[in-house]
Structure 1
């Protein structure tokens, strides 16, 4: 009885503070949740269950696409509101700032890719590049080959040394896994790792065409740059690698996720595997 009286006093003080009636407060507390509120709770639970692992990097738009694919109707605005309510956001938020007009795309005589039509299937256009990964034992170089139709990473390699062997290893892996048709275009920048005679010899042997970005304009190779941006934002900047072995294991795991599970805005919010199947 004492506890009940104390509760009534607390409620009375709260209602006076907020300027509402006690009857209105009790009516609100006993009111059954609306269908919209119930659906909000379902969406919140789905968001919390999904927003883990690499998907912690997903913002409202990608979360919205996943929820829709799971048969949960919602809007991007609603997802954004619910993500704020449960206290989660994309892990990439704030890492990069987009400056419109800061970069331009250029063409040059060696940039054959810029004059080609968009590929209609895999194995028509590939692109390669490499980046740096910091580990507890020093810098590790990571090279990839990306299929420009599906956005799939088809080959990769790691090395302590920055040379043509690094980039050739990624290309050899891609060739062994995919066996592209004759005439497949390979695009890269003009770095010595790709311009070296032994690298060009590998491309010539498998009858691949060469295309190179204008010197000093890495954004000519935008899709590979996009992969590295995503890799670093969603994985590399989120943790410390104690060793090369740990870095390689985690990055290879991420590549598998990127190829088979991650949604890509450039291919209609599908993952590369789904995109290839849908266009078959």
Structure 2
């Protein structure tokens, strides 16, 4: 095996730091958690927050001291919650119809109480005494107990992925955490928990090459395969669009062909060459590649970008499946902030990629990049 090559030193734009500071100041995540999610050092994040506080004229207040309003408090302009929903303390009765409540502990409590009456408790809770005694005598098997524990972990990972992971990625993430189980078992427990992954929609090509554009040499020669030794030497770029209530938001991205990392991106309300240049400049600023890096794009009407690279098509299908198509976007700013969190805090740092052996781009670069 060749000598391991150091990872490129990352450089961060002013906009990137501002987005991280804003996430810290919201108060729903600690500084340490934000640093972990975005593959940053906690010291660097705290320095950015402290600098932002000094710039704002409040040098003594830490980001993790900011808190949102009290739990249950309704924001201005929001409708009040419906009585009995979202807060179990406001329900009209202790056991509401249809609630998935295990009633046997209540019968046990009645039976243990002085003068308790199992028959009366079973009648009130509409449970036969035979079923109660059968439940009381039954002991779950080791397999059943393991299924319960495994299901809890599957649900937790599924929630971390915001409901996007299906069986293959759940199975891979469990293996990464030292939990080795068959894929069929994971699939069974996922179905039993009422969960499922999200499948991408079929991608539709909506842009055609510019017939007047010149045809540069294809230095990549249509080779889009992964190669650990080629990280930071071959990039490709493309554009997609996102519908907001204000109008279209265009997203230009630059992806490393070998680690699948989004190394640069930019958004705008137009398709001018400035958008493409900003995405490429961001990639160069963050990655600082050595001389000779190849940037691949096909002939298109926006400065050379078009819909050809299978990896960018895959990325666009993924981000639309896991983020864009799951809600409406009132403003371009809201969509851009969500894209920042997805790309920098999930896709690059934590999301498992099947083409990388179910590793994240960050992990792949850290463990497989050799000369």
TM-score interval (norm. to shorter): 0.7 to 0.9
Distance in 1 (CA, whole Å) between partners of 2:226 and 2:138 is: 57
Preserved contact between residue 188 and residue 194 of structure 1 (Cα < 8 Å): no
Runs (5+) with no aligned partner, structure 2:
1-116, 204-214
Residue aligning to 1:126? 235
Against the structure 1 CA distance between its residues 4 and 236, is the aligned structure 2 distance closer, same or farther, given a 3 Å change threshold? closer
> Alpha-carbon deviation of 1:73?
2.3
Residue 366 of structure 2 corresponds to residue 277 of structure 1 = yes
- CA deviations 1:10-46 (Å, max 9, x no partner) are 648xxxxxxxxx79x9567523211111111011111
Q: In the alignment, which of 349, 353, 356 is matched to residue 264 of structure 1?
A: 353
Against the structure 1 CA distance between its residues 192 and 35, is the aligned structure 2 distance closer, same or farther, given a 3 Å change threshold? same
Distance in 2 (CA, whole Å) between partners of 1:244 and 1:97 is: 25
Residue aligning to 1:229? 317
Residue 201 of structure 2 corresponds to residue 96 of structure 1 = yes
Distance in 1 (CA, whole Å) between partners of 2:272 and 2:121 is: 77
Distance in 1 (CA, whole Å) between partners of 2:222 and 2:333 is: 40
Counting only pairs closer than 5 Å after superposition, residues 11-90 of structure 1 correspond to structure 2 as: 11=128, 30-90=137-197
- CA deviations 1:179-207 (Å, max 9, x no partner) are 21222111112113233xxxxxxxxxxxx
Residue 318 of structure 2 corresponds to residue 187 of structure 1 = no
> Alpha-carbon deviation of 1:172?
0.6
- CA deviations 1:153-188 (Å, max 9, x no partner) are 010111111121111110011111112122211111
Distance in 1 (CA, whole Å) between partners of 2:299 and 2:181 is: 46
State the structure with bigger RCO (CA 8 A, min sep 6), 1 or 2. Answer: 2
Q: In the alignment, which of 235, 238, 255 is matched to residue 326 of structure 2?
A: 238
Residue aligning to 1:164? 273
Distance in 2 (CA, whole Å) between partners of 1:222 and 1:167 is: 19
Distance in 2 (CA, whole Å) between partners of 1:10 and 1:262 is: 46
Preserved contact between residue 226 and residue 259 of structure 2 (Cα < 8 Å): no
Structure holding more strand per residue: 1
Q: Provide the aligned C-alpha RMSD in A.
A: 2.7
> Alpha-carbon deviation of 1:3?
2.3
Distance in 2 (CA, whole Å) between partners of 1:73 and 1:160 is: 47
Distance in 2 (CA, whole Å) between partners of 1:60 and 1:158 is: 33
1:46 is paired with a residue of what secondary structure?
helix
Preserved contact between residue 57 and residue 234 of structure 1 (Cα < 8 Å): yes
2:358 is paired with a residue of what secondary structure?
coil
1:77 is paired with a residue of what secondary structure?
helix
Against the structure 1 CA distance between its residues 6 and 170, is the aligned structure 2 distance closer, same or farther, given a 3 Å change threshold? closer
Against the structure 1 CA distance between its residues 29 and 74, is the aligned structure 2 distance closer, same or farther, given a 3 Å change threshold? farther
> How many residue pairs end up in the alignment?
237
Structure holding more helix per residue: 1
Residue aligning to 2:211? none
2:310 is paired with a residue of what secondary structure?
helix
Distance in 2 (CA, whole Å) between partners of 1:226 and 1:115 is: 16
Residue aligning to 1:18? none
Runs (5+) with no aligned partner, structure 1:
13-21, 99-107, 196-211
